[in-house]
């Protein structure tokens, strides 16, 4: 989409800033909004596009197609969530039994560590969408306490968000990265993300797997394993969840497009180290949209690394920040506050750690 101007009028800046504040604050204040994030974000997205004056048929078509089409493939998150949900709905007994048997055999600590590590790395091959569906159903099957489940899924979503960037197959951000840097001077190819970010991402995923295993209450988890989980999701619930995911993705397209003038305006005025922290806005915005705006062949490698790593980390802080968060939170009925209680401290800690690691190349 074309940006009308890189210097938005003051009234537009104020209006878009108000939208950002509403998105960050209102879900934590009003329970009704927290329980209806999908329509709320859709409204905010429509308001943002209206303030920016960027309405056109192409945007409308892009938003409506985004949940059902990935690139040139006639499949998207809506179909994957729906089909995976239907498979588990009709085959839940053997699936649940297998997960519980494996968890009992490995023990909760080892099972959680391997779950986070494997899903975090596999997401770069099978995509974040499929990985998120697997994570959601595995956690639904596990007879752990709700507290343990929330901790595990948030930490795993951080790992999945990081790991998916290792190849262009994992998520839209890495696909856009390779496309925009395909020419000189970087000549990015399929292995470019792995070669560039692997040194930061793979240790991060491994650290998260250890952290996740240590964070669960092992005593409670072991006691809970004596209880066999019961699948209690109706067919209507499976379909409604897929529809909610569809609405959420449409909303994020509108929100990202509507905020573009504000993002572009600030992006041209900040140094590389500040970009790292500005990209924490990925907690509520689609990181692929931000990557499409920011990344380009004129950027130095330190800027690319710091900008992308910030996008990947911040995406785990809140539910709207990444596709896995949306899918898993919907399946396990985790609300915005519950996610933030776990996700924000972890995300901020990771931001500071990675910022410290990147200081030699940022200044």
In a domain, 112, yes or no: yes
Residue 14 falls within a domain, yes or no? no
Helix, strand, coil percent values for the chain (each to nearest 5)? 75, 0, 20
Look up the pTM and report it. Answer: 0.87
- Rounded Cα gap, residues 253 and 40, in angstroms: 14
pLDDT of residue 80 exceeding 60, the answer is yes
Residues in the chain: 363
Number of structural domains found in the chain: 1
Is residue 44 a part of any domain in this protein? yes
Give the residue-averaged pLDDT of 111-122: 96
Query: pLDDT grade, residue 74 (50/70/90)?
Result: low
Structural domain contains residue 224: yes
pLDDT in tens, 162-206: 999 999 888 888 888 888 898 899 999 999 999 999 999 999 999
Tell me whether residue 5 is in a domain: no
Taking a C-beta distance cutoff of 8 angstroms, is the pair 153, 348 a contact? no
Range of the domain at 99: 23-362
Residue 218: pLDDT above 70?
no
Residue 17 covered by a domain: no
Alpha helices, DSSP H only, in 164-300? 172-180, 192-215, 218-224, 235-258, 260-267, 272-278, 287-294
What whole-number distance in Å separates Cα of residue 257 and Cα of residue 223? 48
């Amino acid at each position: 989409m074309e940006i009308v101007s890189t210097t938005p009028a003051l009234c537009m800046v104020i209006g878009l800033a108000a939208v950002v504040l509403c998105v960050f604050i209102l879900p934590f204040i009003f329970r009704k909004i927290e329980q209806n994030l999908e329509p709320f974000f859709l409204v905010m997205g429509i308001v943002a596009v209206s303030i920016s004056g960027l309405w056109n048929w192409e945007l409308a078509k892009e938003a409506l197609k985004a949940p059902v089409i990935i690139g040139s493939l006639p499949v998207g998150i809506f179909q994957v969530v729906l089909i995976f949900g239907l498979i588990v709905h009709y085959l839940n007994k053997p699936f649940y039994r297998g997960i519980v048997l494996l968890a009992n055999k490995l023990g909760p600590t080892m099972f959680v560590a391997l779950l986070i590590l494997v899903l975090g790395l596999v997401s770069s091959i099978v995509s974040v969408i499929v990985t998120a569906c697997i994570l959601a159903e595995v956690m639904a099957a596990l007879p752990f306490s709700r507290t343990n489940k929330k901790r595990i899924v948030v930490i795993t979503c951080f790992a999945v968000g990081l790991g998916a960037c290792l190849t262009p197959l994992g998520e839209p951000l890495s696909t856009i990265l390779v496309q925009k840097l395909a020419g000189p001077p970087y000549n990015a190819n399929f292995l470019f993300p792995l070669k560039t970010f692997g040194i930061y991402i793979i240790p991060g995923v491994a650290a998260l797997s250890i952290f996740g295993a240590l964070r669960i209450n092992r005593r409670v988890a072991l006691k809970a394993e004596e209880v066999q989980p019961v699948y209690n999701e109706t067919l209507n619930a499976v379909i409604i969840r897929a529809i909610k995911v569809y609405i959420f993705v449409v909303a994020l397209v509108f929100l990202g497009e509507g905020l573009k003038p504000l993002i572009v305006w600030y992006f041209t005025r900040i140094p590389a180290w500040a970009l790292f922290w500005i990209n924490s806005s990925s907690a509520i915005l689609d990181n692929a949209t931000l990557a499409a705006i920011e990344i380009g062949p004129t950027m130095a490698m330190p800027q690319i690394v710091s900008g992308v790593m910030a996008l990947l980390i911040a995406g785990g802080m809140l539910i709207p920040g990444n596709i896995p968060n949306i899918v898993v939170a919907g399946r396990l009925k985790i609300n915005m506050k519950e996610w933030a209680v776990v996700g924000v401290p972890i995300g901020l800690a990771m931001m500071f750690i990675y910022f410290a690691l990147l200081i030699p190349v940022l200044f």
